[in-house]
Amino acid sequence: MCTFNHHITNMSLLLSLKSHKYILEHFQGKCMEFTSECCNIHDCGFDNIRSIRVESGAWVGYEHHHFEGQQFVLERGEYPNWESYTGNLSYHTEWFKSFRPIYCASHHSSRMMIYERENFMGRCTELCDDYPSLQAMGWFRPEVGSMHVQCGAFVCYEYPGYRGQQYIMECEKHSGDYQHWRNWGSHCQTPKIQSIRRIRH
């Protein structure tokens, strides 16, 4: 559901299970408050979203309509421009076109298994914390073959230090089962995962 916020003269996006989204960077331009998913920002009168304030909850923004393309995790806080939510200067996209809440995010009770190969085969390890470098904590390769999210939600990154492409993994999607790297998102072209952290609610 989307509602216009008449108290803000510039356009921005507020997400709260509540969040505010703005049409221009640095919370300028037309503003709208959202409390539920939006599969196409054009349906709510937006051509683009360039800055965001998340008042509560966790959200995921998508590069394209209907939850397709590059994913961007949005936690409580302010995102004045695209660099602040992409965390990835090598992948240049200055907007997103759809977004949804991550209801199962639970920073204190998140747990997942990662596996060496597809279909939950090969060596595995359990994760229940934040890992800026999987290899530094003992994972033996730069790729992950498959994952099972037992509870909560995680964001996985292509490179160490929470950089590169983002993949949102949730216990409520696919029953928590990600059998192949192609299940990670429509933008995924590689099984490379080198850092993982819990999503804050």
User: Domain range for residue 89?
Assistant: 2-101
Write the pLDDT tens digit of every residue in 105-159.
Answer: 877 889 999 999 999 999 999 999 999 999 999 999 999 999 999 999 999 999 9
Confidence at residue 112, expressed as pLDDT on a 0 to 100 scale:
97
Total domain count, the chain: 2
Is the same domain home to 96 and 162?
no
Is the same domain home to 115 and 188?
yes
CA distance 96 to 82: 9
CA distance 201 to 67: 20
What's the whole-number mean pLDDT along residues 82-100? 73
Residue 131 gets which letter from DSSP? B
Is the same domain home to 156 and 183?
yes
Is the same domain home to 8 and 61?
yes
Last residue of a domain, one of 54, 80, 101: 101
Write the pLDDT tens digit of every residue in 29-70.
Answer: 778 888 889 999 888 888 877 788 888 889 999 989 999 988
- DSSP labels for 1-69? -EEE-TT--S-EEEEETEEEEEEEGGGEEEEEEESS-BS-GGGGT-S---EEEEEES-EEEEEEGGGEE
Answer whether residue 106 is part of any domain: no
Q: What is the average pLDDT score of the chain?
A: 83
pTM here is 0.82
CA distance 65 to 77: 24
